[in-house]
Amino acid sequence: MPFEEVTQKSAHHPKPVGLVLQYGTAGFRTCAKKLDHIMFRMGLLATLRSKKTKATIGVMVTASHNPEEDNGVKLVDPMGEMVTPAWEGYATELANAEQEGLLPTLKDLIEREAIDMAQEANVFVGKDTRCSSESLSKAVMDGVCALGGHYNGLVTTPQLHYLVCCQNTQGRYGEATIKGYYQKLSQAFIQLTKNVPNRTDDQKTLLVDGANGIGALKVSEMETYLKKELQLSLFNDGSSGKLNHLCGADFVKVQQRAPKGVEISAGERCCSYDGDADRIVYYYTDSASRFHLLDGDKIATLISTYLKDLLTQAGLDLQIAVVQTAYANGSSTRYLEDVMKVIVRCTKTGVKHLHHAAQEFDIGIYFEANGHGTVLFSKLAEEKIQQLARDSNANDERKRAAFTLHNTINLINQTVGDAMSDMLLIEAVLAIRGMTVQQWDAIYTDLPNRQLKVKVADRRVIDTTDAERRTVRPEGLQEAIDLLVKKYRRARSFVRPSGTEDVVRVYAEADTQVGLRGGEHNLPCGETLPDRDSLVFSQHAFSLLYACQCLMMICSYVFQESADALAHEVSLAVHQLAGGVGEEPKPL
C-alpha cells in the first residue's frame, strides 16, 4: 500500500507543530528552513493531481524575487497554467495538517476527488539556483516517489510551465525538452528579424542583468541558438553576487534605479530578470544620467501597438484586450483606453488572475507593472492567422502580416510570463518597428509613483474589493485614504496585504504639487530648489532655455515628491488603523 510509504517517508519531513502556512499569490513562500515538510506534501499533492487529471503536473521550487534565504513552491497544471483554485485549498489543508493528521487528510482528499490510485502519475520538478533548492526539491521528489513517477532539473519557472504543456499536448506546443524550448524561441526570433533592413549593431546588442539567478544560466545557454542575431552582455550571472541582492527586476522596478554590477553607458538598452526569470523590465540612462524605467505597462503598450497594427495590415477582425492590475501606472491605462482604444481590464494581483481574464479575448495581453506577463491567443485567433497565411487569394501585405503574426505566436510562451521569451519579443518588435528604447519610452510618460511596505501584526485584517483598489476593512481606512488622495491632483492610492511577504503594500501616484508643504525642496544631490514664488518672479532673469530646464527639473522632483508624500501619508494611516508594529513609517 502506498500509504505505508507515505507514513514512513513523512517521518523524515516532519511538520513543526503549530506552523500554519497558506498557498498564496504564488504558492507557499517563506524562509527556506520552514519548508521541508511543505515540499514533501506538495510532492504528494502533485502526484494526486497528476492521477486526477491523467496528465503531467509541474512543481516549481523557487521564491522568485524574494531574498536568497527564502524559498517557495507552486504547482503547475496540465496546460502549463497555475493550479486550479480548489486544489490551492487542498494544498493549504495538506500543508497545515499536523503529522498524525496527514494520512486522514490525504485519504479525505482522494475520496472527495474520487481519485483512482491505480492511475499512473508523472510529475516534473523544477528548481532555481538557491542553495536550499537542492534539498527542498529532493523533499518534493520523496513525496512524488511515495505515490508516482518524476522528472528533475534546474529550469526557470516559465521553462517548467512550457515543458508541462508540451508533454501534455504530445508535442503540439513544442518539443518537451529544454533544447526544444531554445529552438522554438530562437527560430521564431530569427524568422521575425531576418528581413529587417539595416539592423544596426546597437539594435543587436542588449545588456542583461540575470539577478544572479537561474535566468542568467539559461539565457547564456540559449545565446548560441540565436546565431549572433542578438548579442547579450550578461551581468550578475551568479558567479559572485548574491541572488536578487541590489539587482534583478524587482529591485529595479521598486527602487526605480539601475542594478548594481551593470556597466551602463548613456542610451544603452538594458533589461533585468527576476530570480526565477518569469519577469523582465527594461531601462536606460540618458545623457544627463537620468534613469528611465520601461516596466510591464510599457511592455504591454509596445506589444499591443505592434499586434494591433499587424491585425490591421492582415485585415483580421480580432478583439485585443490588455489586462492590468491596480499597480498599473494611470498614464498607461489612459493611453491604452484613450489613444489606442483597446479594451483594458483590471484584476487582482497575481498572474493567475490576469491569465484567466486574458483568456476571455481573441488576443489577451497581460502584464503586471513589475514585468510579469505574456500574450494569449485564442484557438480561433490562431486558426484565422494560419488560414490567412495559407490563403492563396490574399494579397502580399495581408499574407506578410499573417506570417509575422504566426512567428510572433511561436516566440511567445503562452503558458506564463517568461523573461527570456518576452525579451526576444521586445527585441523583435523594436527591430521590426525600427524603434530605439527612447522612442519606445516616449509613447507616454509615467505618473510619478511610489510603492512602500508597512509591517502590521496581522495583515489579514485588511480586506479589499474592486480588484484590490479599495479596502472594506479595517473600518475607516478607505475613508482616510480617500481624504489623503483628495489633497493631490490625478492622484491614486491603494493598500493590500501582500500574498508573498508578511507586509502590507502601499501604492501611490500623483502628478501635481497641490497639497505639498511649502518651502524648500531638496534635490537628491543636496541642492536646494527655489520655492514656487521666487521661481515665478525670477524668470525674467533666466534665459528661456535655462528657465525651461529648471522648470522641468523642478516639476519632476516636485511631482515625485507628491507621490512620495502621498505614499507616506497612506502608510501612516495603515500603521495607525491596521495594527502597525514597530516605529511609524518615516517620510522618504
Active site members: 64
Q: Which is nearer to Mg ion, 142 or 276 (CB)?
A: 276
Q: Select the residue whose beta carbon is closest to ligand GN1 and give its number.
A: 499
Q: If DSSP codes are grouped into helix, strand and coil, which group holds residue 31?
A: strand
- Return the one option of Mg ion, ligand GN1, none that residue 167 interacts with (CB less than 5 to 8 A, by type): none
- Supply the DSSP string of 301-328, one letter for each residue: HHHHHHHHHHHHHHT----EEEEEETTS
390 Cβ partners below 8 Å, 6+ apart?
none
Q: Is 499 in the site for ligand GN1 (CB under 6 A)?
A: yes
- Identify the CA nearest to 289 among candidates 257, 259, 260: 257
Question: Rounded CA gap, 450 and 563, in Å?
Answer: 6
Under 8 Å between Cβ of 159 and 395: no
- Return the one option of Mg ion, ligand GN1, none that residue 276 interacts with (CB less than 5 to 8 A, by type): Mg ion
Binder among 64, 236, 407, 478 for Mg ion (CB under 5 A): 64
Binder among 327, 366, 440, 444 for ligand GN1 (CB under 6 A): 327
Question: Rounded CA gap, 375 and 357, in Å?
Answer: 12
Q: Which is nearer to Mg ion, 73 or 106 (CB)?
A: 73
Q: What cell was used for 30?
A: 517563506
Binder among 99, 498, 532, 558 for ligand GN1 (CB under 6 A): 498
Q: Are strands 151-154 and 205-209 parallel, antiparallel or unpaired?
A: unpaired
Q: Is 26 in the site for ligand GN1 (CB under 6 A)?
A: yes
Q: Is 276 in the site for Mg ion (CB under 5 A)?
A: yes
445 Cβ partners below 8 Å, 6+ apart?
331
- Return the one option of Mg ion, ligand GN1, none that residue 501 interacts with (CB less than 5 to 8 A, by type): ligand GN1
- The residue range among 186-194, 349-357, 395-403, 465-473 that interacts with ligand GN1, by the rule CB under 6 A, is 349-357
- Supply the DSSP string of 526-547, one letter for each residue: S-EEPPHHHHHHHGGGS-HHHH
Q: Is 368 in the site for ligand GN1 (CB under 6 A)?
A: yes
Q: If DSSP codes are grouped into helix, strand and coil, which group holds residue 346?
A: strand
270 Cβ partners below 8 Å, 6+ apart?
206, 207, 208, 209, 258, 262, 264, 282, 283, 284
SS3 content of the chain, % helix, strand, coil (to 5): 45, 20, 35
Q: Which is nearer to ligand GN1, 362 or 368 (CB)?
A: 368
Q: Is 10 in the site for Mg ion (CB under 5 A)?
A: no
Q: Is 36 in the site for ligand GN1 (CB under 6 A)?
A: no
Question: Rounded CA gap, 262 and 268, in Å?
Answer: 11
Q: Which is nearer to Mg ion, 64 or 329 (CB)?
A: 64
- The residue range among 236-244, 348-356, 518-526, 530-538 that interacts with ligand GN1, by the rule CB under 6 A, is 348-356
Question: Rounded CA gap, 412 and 521, in Å?
Answer: 46
Q: How far is the CB of 366 from ligand GN1 (least distance, A)?
A: 11
Q: Is 71 in the site for ligand GN1 (CB under 6 A)?
A: no
- For the purposes of burial, counting CB atoms within 10 Å of the CB of 543, is it exposed (0-12), middle (13-18) or buried (19 or more)? exposed
Binder among 70, 274, 368, 468 for Mg ion (CB under 5 A): 274
Q: Is 350 in the site for ligand GN1 (CB under 6 A)?
A: yes
Q: Is 159 in the site for Mg ion (CB under 5 A)?
A: no
- The amino acid present at 237, given as its one-letter code, is D
Looking only at residues 431 through 470 of this chain, which bind ligand GN1 when binding is defined by CB under 6 A? none
Q: Which is nearer to Mg ion, 174 or 371 (CB)?
A: 371
Binder among 64, 133, 407, 449 for ligand GN1 (CB under 6 A): 64
Looking only at residues 529 through 588 of this chain, which bind ligand GN1 when binding is defined by CB under 6 A? none
Q: If DSSP codes are grouped into helix, strand and coil, which group holds residue 285?
A: strand
Q: Is 132 in the site for ligand GN1 (CB under 6 A)?
A: no
Q: Is 67 in the site for ligand GN1 (CB under 6 A)?
A: no
Q: How far is the CB of 124 from ligand GN1 (least distance, A)?
A: 20
Interface contacts to Mg ion, rule CB under 5 A: 64, 274, 276, 278
Interface contacts to ligand GN1, rule CB under 6 A: 25-26, 64, 327, 349-351, 368, 370, 372, 498-501, 505
